[in-house]
Amino acid sequence: MADIRQQKLAHLLVNYSTSVQPGEWVGLLGNIEAMPVLRYVYEEVLKAGGYPSLILNDEYMDRAFYRLANDAQIEWLDPMLQDYYEKADVYIRINGAGNTRAMTNIPAKKVQQVRAAQSSFLDTRLSRAAEGTFKWVGTRVPTEAAAQEANMSLEEYEDFVYGACFCDYDDPAEEWRKLSKMQQGKVDYLKGKKNVVLKGPNIDLKLGIEGRTFMNSDGKRNMPSGEIFTGPVEDSVNGWVRFTYPSIVGGRAVSGIELRFEEGKVVDASAEQNEELLFAQLDTDAGSRYLGEFAVGTNFGIDKFTGSILFDEKIGGTIHMAVGKGYPETGSKNNSAVHWDMICDMRQDSEIHVDGELFYKNGAFTV
């Protein structure tokens, strides 16, 4: 029996998140595990008058590429994908985890080599999005593997995922508009501000935001969403942070990450698990030791860590930062093949001050 929440999610992605219009070229990117929702999205695109292209990937073939591809094959870029990223109007990515440990034995340097080779796809998507010529949204659907990773039954995890997307409401889009209005108030307050100071058991950090723009992430790019974010001034970050939760890269968890910044750059780093992957990320290129994003999570429907960054970075009462590439629309100038999010809990004995005024305390806004 079909889950009506799958249909609500599909309708939300097409009609709210990307607002597909007649005649638009819409790419549906996903894997086999996400097929039930992909089918509904395909139907919604057709109803909206869009022209859908289905672009599938498979876990086995992805892993085979990492294992077997030589340098020339890694550097080769699929011309069909190049054409899509350069000319299409809409990008909708829907993934479902088949095996959350599928990439465990793939060398970290190989993962970074592939990502660096394909970074032009990300560059094109983000630059066109900043120009307003490419609409995009990404989501993940419930699977047994993802539920297991989150320490839930499949039924519990389905409730969690669809609840985080507001698909258990009669009108999910209206709920996102309410969250958007709240977040816009914080974004408006931050306009023209210069300095942010974060203090707590896991953080003592200063960063500059002068000339940068905070974005209201309200389900138009990520689904679920619930955050405000910007790109810090590249050389402004000083201090240290200990990230509360593991960060997942290619199916491998890097836990116990601590970073120390001087004049924007990570000058000291450590991790309790998979430290070699941490350094493989940080040493990818000239921009991978600088912050491309600073964000505050606002989705209190996401109240637990699940091992999926799409959900975890939005946890109400947390902040997250990404080393590597920034979003051009924020004013970020940092460029990198990496964009790696890490989460810090701010719900206990923690504060954020903006230009000397208390902005956030123990997981809640104060202005």
Are residues 117 and 238 located together in one domain of the fold? no
Residue 89 is encoded by which pair of tokens?
């109007």
Are residues 142 and 200 located together in one domain of the fold? no
Q: Does residue 174 lie in a domain region?
A: no
**Residues 251 and 234 sit within 8 Å (Cβ to Cβ):** no
**Residues 162 and 155 sit within 8 Å (Cβ to Cβ):** no
Q: Does residue 130 lie in a domain region?
A: yes
Q: Residue 303: what pLDDT?
A: 82
51, β-bridge pairs: 25
Q: Does residue 323 lie in a domain region?
A: yes
Are residues 148 and 207 located together in one domain of the fold? no
Give dist(CA 151, CA 243) in Å, integer: 21
Are residues 162 and 192 located together in one domain of the fold? no
Q: Residue 101: what pLDDT?
A: 79
Residue 94 is encoded by which pair of tokens?
């829907």
Residue 83 is encoded by which pair of tokens?
């054409």
Q: Residue 115: what pLDDT?
A: 86
Are residues 158 and 108 located together in one domain of the fold? yes
Q: Is the pLDDT of residue 97 over 80?
A: yes
The pLDDT tens digits for 311-357 are: 999 999 999 999 999 999 999 999 998 999 999 999 999 999 999 99
Residue 251 is encoded by which pair of tokens?
């199916």
**Residues 195 and 355 sit within 8 Å (Cβ to Cβ):** yes
Q: Residue 107: what pLDDT?
A: 84
Are residues 352 and 238 located together in one domain of the fold? yes
Are residues 196 and 146 located together in one domain of the fold? no
Q: Residue 252: what pLDDT?
A: 80
Look up the CATH number of the domain holding residue 20.
3.40.1830.10
pTM above 0.85, yes or no: no
The pLDDT tens digits for 248-260 are: 876 688 999 999 9
The one-letter code for the residue type at 342 is M
Q: Does residue 177 lie in a domain region?
A: no
Q: Does residue 322 lie in a domain region?
A: yes
Q: Does residue 231 lie in a domain region?
A: yes
Which carries the bigger pLDDT value, residue 325 or residue 2? 325
Task: Count the domains in the chain.
Answer: 2
Q: Residue 1: what pLDDT?
A: 57
Q: Which of 138, 168, 198 is the last residue of a domain?
A: 168
Q: Residue 138: what pLDDT?
A: 95
**Residues 324 and 287 sit within 8 Å (Cβ to Cβ):** yes
The one-letter code for the residue type at 19 is S
End-to-end Cα separation, the chain, in angstroms? 46
Are residues 127 and 244 located together in one domain of the fold? no
Q: Residue 316: what pLDDT?
A: 93
Residues 6+ apart with CB under 8 A from 25: 50, 51, 53, 84, 87, 88, 89, 90
Are residues 163 and 269 located together in one domain of the fold? no
Q: Does residue 190 lie in a domain region?
A: yes
Are residues 97 and 232 located together in one domain of the fold? no
Q: What is the mean pLDDT of residues 118-141?
A: 92
Are residues 64 and 139 located together in one domain of the fold? yes
Which carries the bigger pLDDT value, residue 210 or residue 97? 210
111-121 burial, b for 16+ CB within 10 Å, e for fewer? bbbbbbbbbeb
Give dist(CA 214, CA 191) in Å, integer: 8
Give dist(CA 8, CA 11) in Å, integer: 5
Give dist(CA 68, CA 206) in Å, integer: 44
Residues 6+ apart with CB under 8 A from 75: 117
Q: Residue 188: what pLDDT?
A: 97
3-state secondary structure the chain: CCCHHHHHHHHHHHHHHCCCCCCCEEEEEEEHHHHHHHHHHHHHHHHHCCEEEEEEECHHHHHHHHHHCCHHHHHCCCHHHHHHHHHCCEEEEEECCCCCCCCCCCCHHHHHHHHHHCHHHHHHHHHHHHHCCCEEEEEECCCHHHHHHCCCCHHHHHHHHHHHCCCCCCCHHHHHHHHHHHHHHHHHHHCCCCEEEEEECCEEEEEECCCCCCEEECCCCECCCCEEEECCCCCCCEEEEECCCCEEECCEEEECCEEEEECCEEEEEECCECHHHHHHHHCCCCCCCEEEEEEEECECCCCCCCCCHHHHCCECCEEEEEEECCCHHHCCCCCCCCEEEEEEECCCCCEEEECCEEEEECCEECC
Q: Is 83 exposed, middle or buried (0-12, 13-18, 19+ CB in 10 A)?
A: exposed
Angle at the Cα of 59 from the Cα atoms of 78 and 118, rounded to 5 degrees: 30
The pLDDT tens digits for 201-241 are: 999 999 999 999 999 999 998 999 999 999 999 999 999 99
- Structural domain boundaries, residue 273: 186-365
**Residues 38 and 66 sit within 8 Å (Cβ to Cβ):** no
Q: Does residue 294 lie in a domain region?
A: yes
Q: Which of 168, 201, 232 is the last residue of a domain?
A: 168
Are residues 196 and 237 located together in one domain of the fold? yes
